Amino acid sequence: MLTKIINPELVTKFKDWQKEYKQFVIIAHTNPDGDAIGSSLALYHYLKYLRKNVCVIMPNQFPDFLRWLPGADNIMNYDYYTDVANIKIADADVICCLDFNKLNRVDEMAEKIRESKAKKVLIDHHLDPEQFADIIISHPEQSSTCELLYRFLCDLGYYYKMNTIVATCIYTGMMTDTGGFTYNSNNPELFFIVSMLLQKHVDKDLVYRKVNYNFSASRLFLQGQVLSGMEVLPDYHTAILTLTREQQQKYHYSKGDSEGFVNIPLQIKDVIFTCFLREDTEKDIVKISLRSIGEFPCNVVAEEFNGGGHKNASGGELQKTDAKMASIRFKEVLEKYKSLLTECFNQHPK
C-alpha cells in the first residue's frame, strides 16, 4: 500500500472540476525533459478518457528521443504556434501546470497563464512553489512529477482503468528523472509504484532502449568531442564539460542530443560534482546543468546562476556570455564550496 500524501480536499476539488469543466490545457516547463513530457502525456490520456477537450502546450521544442511516446505528436510548440496557443490558454476552463514550481519556468507563456481566468492546478516536485494556482500539489520528496501524478491518479480512482499507454508515460518520466533509478530513488514506495506500472504491461526494457538507444551517429561524435575537452579539478572533486555553438553546428545538434552528458564524469573515481555548460543556439545565454553524488547540494550552487532544482540534479544559466567565460565564472563560484565538496567526499567516498 502507498502512503497517502496528497491532501484529500485537493483531490475532491479536482474531481469537482472534472465534472464541471470541459476545456483543459496542460503545460510543462521550458526545455521539457522526460518527466515533463511523461507527466503531461499521462494526464492528457487520462483527461481524454474522461472525454475532455485537451491541449498539451510546451514552451519550446522537446527532445527527439521522447517523440515515440503515445500522444507526443499532439503536443503544441508555443514558439511555433504562439497565437493559437494563446487562444487555447485564454479559452481554457482548467490549466494543469506540471513539473515546474514558478511561472517564469515557462518563459513567454507565463503572463498569458497568469492573465487567464481558468482554474489552475500545479502538480510538481520542486522546492518552494509559487502560489499562483488554485490547487497546489507540491511534494519535493517525490522522485519525479510522474511519481506524484501516479499517486494523484490513484487518489482519483483511476488505477484500475489505467491502460498501458498512461502507465508507460508515467514510467518514462520516473525513469528519466532518476537517471534510470540511480539517484533520488531510495524510497521503497517508488519501486512499489514501478511494480504496479509493470502490472499494466509496461515494457521497461523497451522504454530504456527508446530513451537511451535512439540517437544519431552525429550525437555520438558530439559526445566524444565534448568529453575530449573535459576538465577535471581533483582538488574540488569536480569535472566541467562545455559545448559551443560551433560544435553543435558541426555535429548537427538537435534538441536533446546532449541529454545525459552531465552525468558521464560522475563515473570518475574521485568526482562527485559535475557541471555541463552549453551555449544556447536560440538565445545569448549559456545553459548550466549540475549533478552531484551523495550529500553535496548542487541546487545551492545552481542558485548562484539564477537557477535551482534538486539536491543532486539542478540547473541555471548565465546571460550574455560564452562557454569559456561561463567556465571561468563557475570556477570562481566553485571556490566557495571547496571545503564542503571535500567534506562531502570524505563522508561518502565512492
Domain residues of the chain, as ranges? 8-211, 217-347
Distance (Å, rounded) from C-alpha 114 to C-alpha 108?
Answer: 11
Residue-wise burial string across 1-15, b where 16 or more C-beta atoms lie within 10 A, e elsewhere: eeeeebeeebbeebe
Distance (Å, rounded) from C-alpha 115 to C-alpha 81?
Answer: 19
94, β-bridge pairs: 24, 119
pLDDT at 236: 97
The H or E element spanning position 233 is strand 231-233
Distance (Å, rounded) from C-alpha 102 to C-alpha 131?
Answer: 8
CATH architecture of 217-347: Roll (3.10)
pLDDT at 349: 75
Q: List Cβ neighbours of 57 (8 Å cut-off, separation of 6 or more).
A: 25, 26, 27, 75, 76, 77, 78, 85, 88, 89, 109
Residues of the chain with pLDDT under 50: none
> How wide is the angle at C-alpha 46 spanned by C-alphas 42 and 52, nearest 5°?
125
pLDDT at 1: 80
Burial class (CB in 10 A: 0-12, 13-18, 19+), 17: middle
Cα 23 versus chain centre, distance: 25
Three-state secondary structure call for residue 293: coil
Q: How many CA atoms lie within 13 A of 101 on its CB side?
A: 13
In CATH, which of 3.40.50.2000, 3.30.70.3270, 3.90.1640.10, 3.40.190.10 is domain 8-211?
Answer: 3.90.1640.10
Sign (positive/negative) of CA torsion 267, 38, 312, 320?
positive
